[in-house]
């Protein structure tokens, strides 16, 4: 059971489990494996080679959501996995169906999101002949999955799916894929799939070595300027509560990574929010000047570290991670603690000899919070500031509201100006940076958490990449609010062109874009337009209250840029607060 803000759906345990029909085909065995693993939803698109699997789904209680495009299927499954903590499932046919899934699979791989992709394949006898809609799906996806399986036999295909499901969920989560040739799914079998079990070669560490924990605890207790860096792995391991207890007990300031947003409440006095390229000034000052960093479930991505030569250069690093290959990959770990984040935090909690003597340091962190507030101007005579829209929305919604985003400037504002307090309420594309993630992700998130409010901030560029997904959200009668922070440009690229390419705005500005409120209406959703400060609260409230899909087209200041900013490969402590600073560093 994952740490979710909402109360889990009640299951009716009184009803006796219906007698399951024995399987007769490979396809039925595939569906049975998904049923056994507890699958509620599948996101997919039909097609020739996957038809036997869909035919078997006809008799199953699993809900299927027909997506408008396979990319949306993989993103929706990804978001479903992020919000529930259990693998999201997506289906696609062979060839273009499978290749369309690829972006979402790569996205899940970068963010360690649990996803299982089942793809149709041409019949085994045609494999290698360049048959109609044939592509080497296993070959294409092997580098971007934990493992890609080619199902070879109707008798074992159910086991392949069971194993892929278990593997997606085990240890460091991630995507897996099973490629299903049509003759294998159509073929006869009476073999029921086995229970989901990880392959024997796959080892999942749990507790860290006690001696290492003891040494790490002493180093942390000795520190003068300690920080905790909480990554996405904390949320994945359902370790947010363990983290909160640890940080509060030993009074250590907490910085999150972007995927770690929500692992620690941003309204707590120990929170410095998140660090990195567009992180807060105070988080980046603390990262830069700490002498001991407890990093948990993070892979030290370059958007977090900037140049590693200047990353926390005075700090001894204690690194908790379930994946040994992340230890000392980008930043050397003085104290590697390999294991499950929740288990190891508990071990470390018990091993701490005392709190670090860090009154001065905490005061320093507070000074930085006062010196570098996340402020912006809202003069009445200027166009609407995106930050204001995000902030207002945040203030009007409950703490367990789920925020999804696309990728770009809007994503940064949504992460900077929304106040996150709960895990699994921030659903975004971090490592891969996939524009277009937002629309389908919100669909997956809403189905994963029907009782929670879901809002998706998107940019005009990002929104247009997957806008066809609105047809799905309307058909499924999903109550989601999309907010397009519309600056009529691929804003982040435009910002970089202005900062680093002498203002040469090549292919970043849209000479003409659709009216998104009207577009929404065409899809059957409610459309709203926002152009000034006058009616921001009122419009948000109306969109929220509408029982169904609504889209707010917010026309924002096209000149607004995202700050603070650490230029790529730069020094976190030298973040720019405005355009002028970029010239100084």
Binding site for other proteins (CB under 8 A): 138-139, 142-143, 146-147, 150, 167, 199, 201-202, 281, 285, 288-289, 300, 305, 308-315, 323-325, 327-332, 364, 371-376, 563-564, 573-578, 581, 584-585
How far apart are alpha carbons 498 and 489 in whole angstroms?
Answer: 13
Residue 416 or 428 with smaller CB distance to other proteins: 416
Residue 288 or 495 with smaller CB distance to other proteins: 288
Does 369 participate in catalysis according to the annotation?
Answer: no
Closest approach of Cβ 563 to other proteins, in Å? Answer: 5
Residue corresponding to tokens 């570290």 = 305
Closest approach of Cβ 402 to other proteins, in Å? Answer: 28
Options 258, 277, 492, 565, the catalytic residue = 492
Nearest to 198 by CA among 162, 161, 172, 167: 167
Options 146, 182, 369, 446, the catalytic residue = 182
How far apart are alpha carbons 5 and 399 in whole angstroms?
Answer: 8
Q: C-alpha distances in angstroms, 438 versus 455, 510, 557?
A: 10, 20, 21
How far apart are alpha carbons 361 and 248 in whole angstroms?
Answer: 15
Q: C-alpha distances in angstroms, 383 versus 258, 490, 530?
A: 28, 18, 10
142 CB neighbour count, 10 Å cutoff: 12
Residue 279 or 440 with smaller CB distance to other proteins: 279
Closest approach of Cβ 109 to other proteins, in Å? Answer: 12
> E strands within 96-201?
115-121, 147-150, 175-181
Residue 103 or 289 with smaller CB distance to other proteins: 289
Which residues have CB under 8 Å from 469's CB, separation 6+? 67, 68, 69, 72, 76, 439, 440, 443
Say whether 576 sits in a helix, a strand or coil: strand
Closest approach of Cβ 449 to other proteins, in Å? Answer: 31
How far apart are alpha carbons 134 and 131 in whole angstroms?
Answer: 5
Does 132 participate in catalysis according to the annotation?
Answer: yes
What does the DSSP 8-state code read for residue 21?
P
What does the DSSP 8-state code read for residue 49?
G
Closest approach of Cβ 310 to other proteins, in Å? Answer: 7
Nearest to 108 by CA among 136, 140, 146, 69: 146
Closest approach of Cβ 253 to other proteins, in Å? Answer: 15
How far apart are alpha carbons 137 and 385 in whole angstroms?
Answer: 44
How far apart are alpha carbons 288 and 311 in whole angstroms?
Answer: 6
Residue 28 or 572 with smaller CB distance to other proteins: 572
Residue 408 or 573 with smaller CB distance to other proteins: 573
Token representation of residue 485: 């922070």
Options 51, 126, 133, 392, the catalytic residue = 133
Residue 202 or 496 with smaller CB distance to other proteins: 202
CB 240 within 8 A of CB 214: no
Closest approach of Cβ 536 to other proteins, in Å? Answer: 21
Options 28, 67, 70, 463, the catalytic residue = 70
Does 412 participate in catalysis according to the annotation?
Answer: no
Q: How far apart are the first and last CA of the chain?
A: 47
How far apart are alpha carbons 60 and 470 in whole angstroms?
Answer: 26
Residue 233 or 440 with smaller CB distance to other proteins: 233
Does 497 participate in catalysis according to the annotation?
Answer: no
Does 492 participate in catalysis according to the annotation?
Answer: yes
Closest approach of Cβ 308 to other proteins, in Å? Answer: 4
Token representation of residue 2: 């994952």
296 φ/ψ angles, rounded to the nearest 5 degrees = -125, 125
Catalytic residues: 70, 132-133, 182, 492
């Amino acid at each position: 059971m994952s740490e979710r803000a909402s109360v889990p759906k009640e299951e009716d345990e009184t009803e006796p489990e219906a007698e399951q029909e024995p399987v007769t085909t490979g396809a039925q065995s595939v569906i049975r494996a998904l049923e056994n693993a507890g699958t509620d939803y599948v996101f997919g698109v039909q097609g020739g080679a996957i038809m036997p699997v869909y035919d078997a789904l006809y008799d199953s209680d699993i809900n299927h959501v027909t997506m408008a495009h396979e990319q949306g299927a993989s993103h929706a499954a990804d978001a479903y996995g992020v919000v529930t903590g259990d693998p999201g499932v997506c289906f696609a046919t062979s060839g273009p169906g499978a290749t369309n899934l690829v972006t979402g699979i790569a996205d899940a791989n970068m963010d360690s999101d649990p996803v299982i992709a089942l793809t149709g394949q041409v019949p085994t006898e045609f494999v290698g002949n360049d048959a109609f809609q044939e592509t080497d799906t296993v070959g294409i996806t092997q580098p971007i999955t934990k493992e890609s399986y080619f199902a070879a036999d109707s008798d074992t295909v159910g086991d392949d799916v069971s194993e892929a499901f278990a593997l997606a969920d085990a240890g460091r989560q991630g995507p897996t894929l099973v490629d299903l040739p049509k003759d294998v799914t159509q073929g006869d079998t009476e073999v029921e799939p086995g229970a989901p079990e990880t392959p024997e070669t796959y080892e999942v560490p749990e507790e860290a070595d006690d001696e290492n924990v003891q040494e790490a605890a002493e180093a942390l207790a000795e520190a003068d300027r300690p920080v905790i860096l909480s990554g996405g792995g904390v949320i994945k391991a359902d370790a947010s509560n363990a983290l909160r207890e640890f940080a509060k007990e030993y009074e250590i300031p907490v910085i999150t990574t972007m995927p770690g947003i929500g692992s620690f409440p941003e309204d707590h006095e120990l929170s410095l929010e998140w660090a990195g390229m567009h992180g807060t000034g105070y988080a980046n000052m603390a990262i830069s000047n700490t002498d001991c960093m407890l990093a948990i479930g993070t892979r030290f991505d370059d958007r977090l570290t900037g140049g590693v030569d200047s990353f926390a250069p005075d700090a001894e690093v204690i690194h908790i991670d379930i994946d040994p290959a992340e230890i000392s990959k980008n930043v050397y770990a003085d104290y590697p603690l390999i294991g499950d984040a929740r288990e190891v935090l508990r071990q470390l909690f018990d091993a701490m000899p005392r709190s670090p003597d860090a009154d001065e340091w905490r005061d320093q962190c507070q000074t930085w919070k006062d010196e570098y507030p996340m402020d912006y101007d809202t003069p009445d005579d200027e166009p609407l500031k995106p930050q204001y829209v995000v902030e207002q929305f945040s203030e009007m919604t409950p703490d367990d509201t789920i925020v999804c985003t696309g990728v770009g400037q809007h994503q940064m504002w949504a992460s900077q100006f929304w106040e996150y307090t709960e895990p699994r309420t921030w659903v975004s594309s971090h490592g891969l940076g996939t524009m277009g993630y937002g629309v389908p992700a919100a669909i997956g998130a809403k189905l994963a958490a029907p009782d929670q409010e879901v809002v998706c901030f998107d940019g005009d560029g990002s929104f247009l990449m997957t806008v066809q997904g609105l047809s799905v959200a309307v058909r499924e009668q999903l109550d989601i609010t999309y907010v397009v922070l519309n600056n009529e440009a691929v804003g982040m690229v435009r910002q970089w062109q202005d900062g680093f390419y002498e203002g040469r705005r090549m292919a970043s500005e849209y000479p003409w874009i659709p009216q998104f409120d009207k577009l929404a209406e065409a899809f059957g959703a409610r459309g709203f337009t926002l152009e000034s400060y006058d009616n921001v609260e009122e419009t948000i409230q109306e969109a929220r209250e509408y029982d169904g899909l609504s889209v707010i087209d917010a026309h924002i200041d096209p000149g607004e840029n995202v700050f603070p900013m650490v230029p790529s490969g730069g020094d976190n402590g030298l973040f720019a607060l405005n355009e002028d600073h970029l010239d100084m560093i």
